[in-house]
Amino acid sequence: MDKQNEKIYVTQSSMPTYEEYIEAIKPLWDSHWLTNMGKYHKELEKELREYLDVPQISLMVNGHMALEMAIQAMDFPEGAEVITTPFTFISTTHAIVRNRLKPVFCDVKLSDGTIDETKIEELITENTVAIVPVHVYGNICNVEEIQRIADKYSLKVIYDAAHAFGVTYKGKGIGNYGDASVFSFHATKVFNTIEGGAVTFSDPKLYDKLYNLKNFGIRGEELVVSVGANAKMNEFSAIMGLCNLKHIDTAIQERKIRHEKYEELLKDIPGIRFFEEKEDCRRNYAYFPIIVEDSYPVTRDELYDRLREKGIYARKYFYPLTSDQACFKNKYKKVDLHSARRLSEHILVLPFYEKLEMEKIQEIGELIKKQQRGVL
């Protein structure tokens, strides 16, 4: 493709070299063991447990099934309420509803997009069983306050950490918080296994429950102990994960460099705002979101359209709110979601990945500056 007319998408999958991956998968042609918790599945679980610094981990076929099964493993009664955020990918809400639970949407903070912990308690009823917050864009929720609330009301906490791979808080892997944390290893994420996901947790009993849920409840050739599904990661995906894990620290460092370049270009533009950074947090630089304020000369949607005219495919993550989607609108408890709705109407996620050329970032920054001056 002509570099001049090349489209710049919001993300690009991280991959090892062709030669590295092909060499790594060669043994599969000898073993013919392609799935069912094979050698590489077990190896990746071990490597990720160490990298994420968590006591327990269970690999899954994708991040959605990881979340759905983490919730299912808690054995909540049908129709119980789960407090969560509407400012997230639709998977978060689907996982709750597919478990026959009722989402209760809580507003978020304009400062970082995470669930507003000061508004959780007022939503708790006798039917509340859990909180499912989201570390959106890798921004960490107020885990201490959320845990305090959960302990006070005897609630489970299941974190959607799809965006937070490799993030640490106060020197501790983010997968250590709550009763469980769920990661996505989708091709668009900081770390990927093509498709994949995982649940991290501390209770060893949860490992067996998740194993049964993802493997039809099979515990032997002639023994099925519980009702389950099929959510196993295959060996090709596990090998992709093992290859990518060797390069993850370099990838995050490259993301950091590009993140800083964007900040340098955009920090002084009136009407463009960044999220606040949390103290004591080692970031993974998963995305580069900006908030297009009312003081900017054009709306978020107009900027989105004008960038797209130039072949720059930014995204409105997350618009509309999940609570406003056709499948959920007006079906659940009405709650004031003023901040979440405002954020969804002003958010724009710019193209961002570790191999994005610096000149492309410069080009995007200049286009946003020119629009501010009314010359795009």
pLDDT confidence of 29, banded at 50, 70, 90? very high
Q: Which pLDDT does position 6 carry in this prediction?
A: 85
CA angle in degrees (0–180, nearest 5) for 232-90-294:
145
Q: What is the pLDDT of residues 71-101, one digit of tens each?
A: 999 999 999 999 999 999 999 999 999 999 9
Cα–Cα distance for residue pair 153/82, rounded to 1 Å: 13
In this structure, are 124 and 264 located in the same domain? no
In this structure, are 224 and 262 located in the same domain? no
Domain final residue pick, 199, 228, 245: 245
pLDDT confidence of 371, banded at 50, 70, 90? confident
In this structure, are 209 and 269 located in the same domain? no
Domain final residue pick, 217, 245, 273: 245
pLDDT confidence of 8, banded at 50, 70, 90? very high
297: domain range? 3-11+247-372
Cα–Cα distance for residue pair 194/186, rounded to 1 Å: 6
Q: What is the pLDDT of residues 202-216, one digit of tens each?
A: 999 999 999 999 999
In this structure, are 235 and 260 located in the same domain? no
Tell me what the mean pLDDT of segment 277-287 comes to: 96
Number of separate helices (H) and strands (E) present in the chain = 12, 17
In this structure, are 93 and 228 located in the same domain? yes
Checking if the pLDDT of 375 tops 90, the result is no
Of 2-16, 71-85, 86-100, 137-151, minimum mean pLDDT range: 2-16
Q: What is the pLDDT of residues 158-202, one digit of tens each?
A: 999 999 999 999 999 999 999 999 999 999 999 999 999 999 999
In this structure, are 214 and 309 located in the same domain? no
Checking if the pLDDT of 2 tops 80, the result is no
Q: Which residues, 6+ apart, have CB-to-CB distance to 189 below 8 Å?
A: 63, 162, 163, 165, 286
Checking if the pLDDT of 1 tops 60, the result is no
Cα–Cα distance for residue pair 135/286, rounded to 1 Å: 11
Distance of CA 85 to the CA centre of its chain: 13
Q: Which helix (H) or strand (E) holds 220?
A: strand 218-220
In this structure, are 265 and 241 located in the same domain? no
Q: What is the pTM of this model?
A: 0.97
Q: Which amino acid, 92?
A: T
User: Reduced to 3 states, what is the DSSP secondary structure of residue 366?
Assistant: helix
In this structure, are 241 and 256 located in the same domain? no
In this structure, are 201 and 263 located in the same domain? no
pLDDT confidence of 308, banded at 50, 70, 90? very high
In this structure, are 294 and 344 located in the same domain? yes
CATH assignment at residue 364: 3.90.1150.10
User: Reduced to 3 states, what is the DSSP secondary structure of residue 182?
Assistant: strand
Q: Which residues, 6+ apart, have CB-to-CB distance to 290 below 8 Å?
A: 266, 272, 273, 274, 347, 348, 349, 350
Decide: 325 and 341 in contact? Cβ < 8 Å.
Answer: no
- Beta-strand relationship, 180-184 and 312-313: unpaired
CATH assignment at residue 82: 3.40.640.10
In this structure, are 200 and 83 located in the same domain? yes
Kindly state the tokens that stand for 94.
Answer: 């689907």
In this structure, are 228 and 276 located in the same domain? no
Domain final residue pick, 218, 245, 272: 245
Q: How many domains does the chain have?
A: 2
Decide: 204 and 56 in contact? Cβ < 8 Å.
Answer: yes
Q: Which residues pair with 81 in a beta bridge?
A: 102, 128
Checking if the pLDDT of 263 tops 70, the result is yes
